[in-house]
Structure 1
Amino acid sequence: MISSPFMARPTTVSVVMLKVLAALVPGIVLSVSFYGVGVLAQLALASATALVAEAAMLRARGQPVAVFLKDGSALVTAWLLALAMPPLGAWWLVVVATAFAIVVAKQLYGGLGNNPFNPAMVGFAAMIVAFPAQMAQWGSAVAPLSAPEQLAYIFGRTLPAGVDAIVSATPLDHLKTQLSLGVPAATTLAESLHGSAGRWVAAGYLAGALWLWRQRLIPWQTPVAMLAGVTALALPLWLLDPTRYADPLFHLFAGATMLGAGFIVTDPVSGPTTPRGRLIFGFLVGVLVYVIRVFGGFPDSIAFAVLIMNIAVPFIDHTTRPPVFGAKKGGRA
């Protein structure tokens, strides 16, 4: 019979990061099933680049390499970034993005725990600004190419005989283009096989995020508030003009919304630490996601929304922190 007292085992950073990687597996499996082994190639390239860049920067800073490489944080950044990149993107795209994320957004700020911005989103934002055309080209769902053909395209941009093109715009880009041509939103969404595949992948990320929450590794406030922020704008605009605006479910399961809600805004380093602050942060991220996605120039808006709100985190924490025990609000004890 087990009796008290009970002592909680300390959770190490490496264990937490390993569980985050495990939570991404359902989304990865579904992504591979729809888009092919190009997803695995992007993950491998990002992982290798992250470890090399992290080791090089640690050595340059005079820090112990093995200790920090084993914590798994570099791999988490690599995986999140790779899963946001085009599955059939050129190999150098994910390599440059990952190196930028690790070197500039993480190590130059002092490494894990010191970065004010989410490193994966910094890498993604840098690439979508510098190479918007390449970042908008995704492989068609249920890719027609074999595994060797996909790898040949990623590493050499070589197309098999008789194939002129294998990439297509993301559902968000496609919807924006069709709306500009006067095609109703409902018609575009009904014809989008790629969008259907994206919803299944998003469901995989949602399942992983729910598992992390059950493991008490992420708070519920930030992801729920972010999804509420997206819905708060998507629902009334859709009800007002369904020909011009997509329904809320599309926005919740399109692009990287679920990946962002479960794995990006829940970053404990670049996000708020107070429960009320997490609600504010998540909700405003969701609002910005919709505003930038629908009215801005970048449909894949998660990175920009998160980075903008990362700037406000110190202010949010300062204004939402609870009073010190024994002290009156706005005064002394």
Structure 2
Amino acid sequence: MRIVVFGAGAVGLGLGSFLLAGGAEVAFVARADTAAALRRDGLARDGRFGAFRAGPRELAAAETPAELPAAFAAPDAVLVCVKSFDAEPAAAALAAAKDLVGERALVVVCQNGWGGAEPFARALGAERVYGARVITGFARPAPARVEVTAHAEPVAIGSLFGAPPGAAEPLCAVLRRGGLPAETTDRLEELLLAKLLYNGCLNALGAVCGVPYGVLGASPPARAVMRDVAREAFRAFDAAGLRTRWPDADAFLRCLYEELLPPTAAHEPSTLQDLRAGRRTEIDALNGAVVRLAAAHGVETPVNRALCEIVRILEAKAARPGGAG
């Protein structure tokens, strides 16, 4: 398979490394410093699932789709791994690069939060746009190096728009060959809502407190905050007619503490990583998505809203010279 990874942050590099290990031809569309590092040094992965190295001649990297090698003019799949706040411009860029998307390329949106696939469905046609639920923790300590810090469940790829999940099986097979568990699903909405709950409870609070997930799970005060976050989210879901695999927030929290949290206890939230680097966070697609969904149905979410505002304060502080320290 020929696969383009659009966005080469921690998730893009991480998934790309498993695709390369699985035998795919992979090209990255990346920011200038990352593209230059990949062309110079190749890609290195460490952490869970072991070490992997791909030399610069074993991959391609460019700053725009137009600069990709001719061999990637009509790839089998495009993995969109940009941050949630870059979804609209990324969708527009792919729509403008008609040769890249072609007639048959599967477009798989790999983003945190809720609502990330819609801009791509509008721009490219819903029938080809799939989503991926990723609960594998990645960190990027250098432009062309990625670490796998946690892994809870297989990558799950499916459609939110009624397309058959089987179309994503070749992509899942490459990931599995590369060493990353992956499967197709016909219940992607349910899985994405579950991840929204998981991230909503852990990501912002962990960033505000400056701690990995496991510290939150061991803290009674943190559990009290997470309880309120989850209960507000379930009230929003109920009002919107959305269903998860848990009947209520308390059932979700039991699963979180007993099953979901232990494998990822050492992982530091992506929001914390962004704040430390002085980058914009994805809070608007996480707790912010819960706040917007609830507001649309007349539901109040004071704890989720407060977490959003605190993270935005920290964002502004981190963006100032010397602020990230």
Fold match (TM-score > 0.5): no
Per the normalisation by structure 2, the TM-score is: 0.31
Q: Whose strand proportion is higher, 1 or 2?
A: 2
Greater RCO (Cα-Cα under 8 Å, separation 6 or more): 1
Per the normalisation by structure 1, the TM-score is: 0.30
Larger radius of gyration: 1
